[in-house]
Amino acid sequence: MEERLQKLMAQAGLGSRRENEKLIEAGKVRVNGRTAKLGDKADPNKDQVEVNGRLLKLRDNQDKFIYVAINKPKGVISSLDDEMEKGRRTVRDLVPLPGHIYPVGRLDKQSMGLILMTNDGDLAHKLTHPRYGHEKTYRVTVEGKIDEETLNQWRRGIRLDDRKTVPAKITVINQGPNFTLLEIIMREGRKRQIRRVANILGFPVTHLVREKIGPLSLGNLKPGEWRHLTRGEVSALKKAVQSKPARRQKKK
């Protein structure tokens, strides 16, 4: 049965679908000796698919997939490589397992909390693609005593990068004269979104921890610790991504 190339590549553990689309666009994928283009399909039982000159090997069962939860500490970057080449630790350095696993979504260097790492490209794609809109839960401390009017602005959406943010669920957990502790549940994740919105509103973030990705919780993991997901957790994630994609927000 034919499948899109980026899906076959993801199933083989080569990265997310979007990462694989870039490889196809760069001309690094060939099907039966011919350079592939975006939108091409292949039958893994009949066709020969090569990526960077190496024959693609599909996984024959899902037991070979790896699913790992990490509590990312401050100062660690949530990518496979230090793109700035400053010798910084990455989340991959925290997990001493062989093979190619990669983070699902990112947290900025100063943020902490839950990151999922896997070689299941199909699951990674559906957890991160904006059209699916899976919830992520954060515990966030901001400077100052934030008022209800400002919180409602944040909840409804703030213009960021020439478009409004998707409405968020925000609850005040604790508050004092100089701080406010919030729980923020979001269905999108633009780069440094929480910190940037908080700055726009005049209440800079001092501490940020991601506690949940969909049904997956951080639990008792301490900063820098990792663990394999249970079968139940993997099943819950797969069930979550099988639900209908969230409706796209109308541009305003």
Residue type, 161: D
Give the active site residue among 40, 47, 108, 162. Answer: 108
Query: How far apart, in whole angstroms, are the C-alpha atoms of residue 140 and residue 58?
Result: 41
Residue type, 8: L
Of 75, 84, 111, give the one whose Cα is nearest residue 191.
111
* Number of helical (H) and strand (E) elements in the chain, helices listed first: 6, 17
Instruction: Give Dmax over CA atoms of the chain in angstroms.
Output: 67
Given a contact cutoff of 8 angstroms between Cβ atoms, the answer to whether 217 and 204 are in contact is: no
Q: Is 108 a catalytic residue?
A: yes
Residue type, 138: Y
- The sign one gets for the Cα dihedral 203, 135, 76, 222 is positive
Strand 163-164 relative to strand 159-160, pairing: antiparallel
Given a contact cutoff of 8 angstroms between Cβ atoms, the answer to whether 170 and 182 are in contact is: yes
Residue type, 231: R
Buried b / exposed e along 51-62 (16+ C-beta atoms within 10 A):
beeeebeeeeee
Residues annotated as part of the active site: 108
